[in-house]
Chains A and B, each alone.
Chain A
Amino acid sequence: MADFLVAAKNNWMVDADKTGWTQEQIDDAERQYKIGDIVDIFEDGKLSDYAHAGGKFYVLRIKGLTKNDAMKYIEVEYENILTKGVQDKRIVRKRMYKFRIDDMPVLIKNKIKTDYVYTINWSDIKGYCFNKKTLLNEV
């Protein structure tokens, strides 16, 4: 079992009025956390019910998955670029994986959005764990 800390709110840039923003600023907003992004993963039982931080996170306690196995879900998505001929990495998105909260069954979705804390089997939720780079759900 592992405790997932999942973004319950978009970064402020995502929803901001972008009138007058440069393309660079708009691109920057795209890199930021959005609802469902997996921010952090902890050992089973680490997080209390208060870890939602006043509704900023969802705390998902997921059974059937160890922290070590889950760590890939907090990977940052980078692209490799060259800076004056030198290898560099630029962030594409802060997280490569997200949970498609809004696509979950209504009972589960509502419970998560109401309580901010939910315990569920990995087998029941992994189909909603979405890789933003490959555009595929976990299977």
Chain B
Amino acid sequence: MATVVRYVNPGSSGGDGTTSALSGANAAYASLSAWEAAENTNLDTANNIMQVNCAGSTADTTAVTISGWTTSATDYIEIIGDWAPLTDGKFSTSKYRLNVQNFTQLTIANATAFIRIHNLQIYNSDINTGNIWGILCNSTITSGEIRIYNNCIRGNNNTSWYDMGIRILGGTATYYIYQNWIYDWGTTADFNYSAIYFNPNTIAGGVNCYCENNTFHNNVVGIQRFAGNLIAINNIVKGSGNTYSYVGTFATGTDYNSTDSTDSIGVGSNNKTSQTFTFVDEANDDFHLASTDTGAKDSGTSSVNGGFTTDIDGQTRSGTWDIGAHEYQAVGGGLSIPVAMNQYRQRWA
């Protein structure tokens, strides 16, 4: 088994994607869409992992559809962004981001979908067009394992209907959605806006979605389950209100979720309601936990299904895990690492 490494940078003048250079024959692809079209292959037969590294400060404005690949559990696609929340602090315009107007940003439509997406920034900046989803797991998916983790998936308080951070409609696959920041999806109190929406088109054989340690902020609906088994563990849901923080019936195993609302998730004995969350810079969408937080710190469980042991920053989780994407890390002077990094940036900028 080999790993094929390719590069995408919207600042590139286009090349064969084999290096991160911005010009020349071996330059990075100029869009993720170009990479997808150029490299599309049968990974299973080739016995390869396809790893694509996305970088650069120029927005990638072309919608991406992943389909027409053959993948397997060992021969999968891995899309890696350069977003590093530990040092970037929040959504960063100096890092790679999908920012498509009027379209769903990234669609996974592969029949066999063994795909991992992490450290990617996705931003729906459009506010007038409905049916815009950050990541759509299309109903053409029939099998696979999709891992979406450590991403920043940002809406724009869209006023049109039917906008969602992650919308899962695929069939018999397993979905691991963990340690993402998903925020600002929708404005109107309606089920058709949601941070995450799970409605697989078939539930034969059981279709599981493990939604773990995410931070959902200021979305109309936090976590919405329409069909299949959605197991929600260690999630923060803030700003979705007393009716829409959790929608639907959740599967056994759901527990340790925390919300500022009075909405009960209905399964598990360690969930928390009416909590106060304190983030490092909530007004500017930095959802790292502050040292003074009481709603999420040391309130979670390490019994997760995603197999992760580090947080969204890549820092090792320890002790009683925190709820949400970030594990508070105390450093000298009682500052969390993100606060310390922010002070460092301010001092040396």
Contacts and interface: CB of A to CB of B under 8 A. Distances in A.
Contact of B140 (A5, A41, A48, A91): A91
B201 A53 contact: no
Interface in A66-122: 74, 76, 81, 83-84, 86-91, 94
B68 A48 contact: no
B139 A83 contact: yes
A13 interface: yes
A13 to B, nearest CB: 5
A128 to B, nearest CB: 20
Contact of B38 (A56, A90, A91): A56
Contact of A48 (B14, B199, B226): B14
Given A11-B40, A47-B30, A88 B68 contact: no
Contacts of B16: 50, 53-54, 56
Interface stretch (B103-111, B243-251, B296-304): B103-111
Interface residues of A, number: 39
A6 to B, nearest CB: 10
A76 B34 contact: no
Interface residues of B, number: 40
Given A51-B13, A53-B14, A5 B34 contact: yes
A48 B42 contact: no
Contacts of A33: 37, 40, 68
Interface stretch (B20-28, B308-316, B322-330): B20-28
A14 to B, nearest CB: 9
Given A32-B40, A46-B13, A94-B65, 20 more contacts: A5-B30, A7-B37, A11-B40, A12-B42, A13-B68, A24-B111, A28-B140, A40-B37, A48-B15, A48-B24, A50-B14, A53-B14, A53-B34, A76-B65, A81-B139, A83-B199, A84-B226, A86-B226, A91-B67, A91-B140
